[in-house]
Each structure stands twice: as structure tokens, then as C-alpha cells.
Amino acid sequence: MDKMRFGKTGLLVSKIAFGGIPLQRLGTAEAVELVRGAINLGVNFFDTANGYSTSEERIGLAIKGYQRSSLVLSSKSLARDKKTFLRHVDQSLKQLGTDYIDLYHLHNVSSAGVCDVVFGEDGAFEGLAEAVNAGKVRFAAFSSHSVPLSIRIMREGKFAAVQLPFNYVDDEAGKEAIPLAKSLGLGFIAMKPFGGGLLSDANLSIKYLSQFDSIVPDPGIEKLSELEEIIRIAESGERFAAADAAAVEKAKAEFSGSWCHRCDYCQPCPHNIGISTALPIESLIKRIPYPQVVELAGKSMEAARSCAGCRACVDRCPYRLDVPVLLKEKLRLWDRYVSENTSLAR
């Protein structure tokens, strides 16, 4: 498929990236075959993370035998301190089977508190800068779920790329963050172009994103047929039209009372409930294997049972979500999910 320049990095990347989260749900042979199938379709941009269990390792197995310089590898670390971050970089290099990683992200830098740590003394950013200087990483990047915070970080000039959620419902990044990234020459990876599995209309999703010529959508891929459809739509040349705009507005109305943007403006919760983990639980369930879902969200879901309905979160939420009501709905979904998987394990 067609390639595009990724900001000022000089990297030529496929106009659709391959999101590596769903590889965890597949067997090793199936995952390797999927990645190689994507390469054969012309995809050269693969995005994963140190924390995605088997994803890096499976991409590493799949790319053996391919010319390394023809591929663009992107990974991330949730480490907040320098020492752990550097250890994660070395783990990623080993698991991907490569001497360098093109883009390495500070993963989920979404609050002022996290910024204070990762950009502080012996913080993860020092590790990232050291990895770049050592040639282990070519370009520094960061991912976030907070658009305002990301805009602030982008303006500091420390990074070559940014990754933010962007789709036709979660569209905040399109107003300022994407134009700013373009003006600064930063590559922009559109995380969750299908809303983490919640948006099923591939045609509408890809046509909407195609209006923004400087971004690279990064859908999580679990089947080659999914990728083939996405590429077909992206290369069809069909433009986003009035009928599509109407469909977007309808979808926004349907999701307006339930879509968590993970901005964390609702925090702090007096009962220490991880609201931005609990409310999007359906997206995690759709993308990640059961053990990892429990590891990532189990504590937050159990904490949600302590919700006293104080509604402090509702007052803070810029989208006016009725968080206590939504938490009860997500707990019902969670309990069914845990029960079904426990039964399967017996």
C-alpha cells in the first residue's frame, strides 16, 4: 500500500499501521502468520508495547527474514523511572529481535502527576534520551489519553511523535493536537481508530480519518480479513461525504452518555475507584486475553463496587457522564465476563 512521510523523522510508513494488542489473543503460529500477511499486503509500520505480554515476541518472530530497514517498529514502556525504562528498552530489543527500535514511547503520559515523575530526576524520559543517544531507539515518542496535556508536551520540543486516541466519536485531538503536531513536524499515530473495538463501521471510521492527511491510523488487528478491508477502504479514494457526517453525528448522540474519554478529570475519587479503567472495560475485553484483562482492570472493577454515588465525578466530568450509573452497568458486564471465563477454565 501507499507510504507517507512520518513527520520530520524521514521514516516512510504505510498509511495504515498494525496495532499489536490483539496478537496476545492468538496462538504463536497464527500471530506470526498474521504479521507476515500484513507485510505482504504492504504494511510496514508495527506498533506494540513492552506491556502487551507476547505481542513484541510474536512480531519479532514474524519479521525474521525480512529486511529490517524496510520495517518501522514502534513500542512503549509504562516505566516511570530511568532504570526500569532502560530495562524495558533492552527487553523490547530482545523480544523484537532487532538492534534498534524506530519509535519508543513513554506509555500513557496522561496526568500532571505522571509528568512530574517521568520528566523529573532519574525519570523515564532520561532513560529514553539515553536509549536514543545509544542508538537503541531512533526517535523519542509518547502516548497519552489527555489532549490538553499532550499539547503542552508537544510544545516542549522533546519528541518526534505522539500517539493519541482519535476516531469519529473521540475526536478532540482533531481540533488542536493534530494541526499542532503537523505544524511542528511530529508524526501522529491515531490510537483506537475503531474506539477500541466499540465502533464497528470500518467504512465510516476510515473515511473519517482520511480527512486528516498527516496521521497514521493504528487499528488493532486480529484477522487478516480485517486488515484487507481496512486497506481496501483506505485506498478506494472515497471521500468523507455529507451522509457520512450525518452518520457520525448520529453515533455521537448514541454514545454521548456513555463514552469515557479517559481524561481523568473525574479524579480523585474519594473511594479510589479507577474510573477511566472501569468505564471502558468492554474495549479491554474485546482486545486482550482474559488473564491480562484481570491483571489490568481487576482491581479497578472490584473497587467500583465501593461507589457510594457521591457524584463528585459527575460534577468534574467535562462530558457529563453519569459515572455511578455507568459503573453499575460495567460491573454487571464484568461479573458475566468473569463467570463465563471461570466456567471455561474448569
pLDDT of 206 > 90? The answer is: yes
In which band, very low, low, confident or very high, does the pLDDT at 338 lie, cut at 50, 70 and 90?
very high
Query: So what's the pLDDT on residue 137?
Result: 98
For residue 148, whether the previous peptide bond is cis, meaning omega lies within 30 degrees of 0, is no
Residue 319 has pLDDT above 90, yes or no: no
Residues 6+ apart with CB under 8 A from 75: 47, 48, 49, 50, 56, 92, 96, 101, 103, 104, 105
Dist. CA 221–CA 73, nearest whole Å: 16
* Per-residue confidence (pLDDT) for residue 67, from 0 to 100: 97
Among candidate residues 53, 50, 45, the one with its CA nearest the CA of residue 77? 50
Q: Return the pLDDT at 344.
A: 75
Outline where the chain has alpha helix (H). 28-40, 55-62, 82-96, 112-118, 124-133, 147-155, 177-184, 202-209, 224-235, 242-255, 275-278, 281-287, 290-303, 312-316, 323-345
Residues making up the chain, counted from first to last = 346
Stretch 294-319: mean pLDDT: 94
Mean pLDDT of 250-274: 91
User: What is the pTM for the complete model shown?
Assistant: 0.92
Pairing of strands 18-19, 3-5: unpaired
> What pLDDT is recorded for position 262?
86
The reported pLDDT for the residue numbered 345 is: 65
DSSP letter at 268 equals P
Query: What average pLDDT does this structure show over 214-239?
Result: 96
Model confidence at 217: pLDDT above 70: yes
> Residue 343: is its pLDDT beyond 90?
no
* Cα–Cα distance measured from residue 101 to residue 132, given in angstroms and rounded to the nearest whole number: 9
Weakest-pLDDT range from 3-7, 72-76, 80-84, 319-323: 319-323
Percentage of the chain exceeding pLDDT 90: 94
Q: What is the pLDDT of residues 100-147, one digit of tens each?
A: 999 999 999 999 999 999 999 999 999 999 999 999 999 999 999 999
pLDDT score, position 228: 97
Give per-residue pLDDT as tens, 151-192. 999 999 999 999 999 999 999 999 999 999 999 999 999 999
Of residues 237 and 327, more confidently modeled: 327
**Parallel, antiparallel, or unpaired: how do β-strands 72-77 and 45-47 relate?**
parallel
Q: Quick one: pLDDT at residue 4? A: 97
At 346, is the pLDDT very low, low, confident or very high (cuts 50, 70, 90)? low
Report the percent of the chain where pLDDT is more than 70.
99
Mean pLDDT score across all residues of the chain: 96
- Average pLDDT score over residue span 90-100: 98
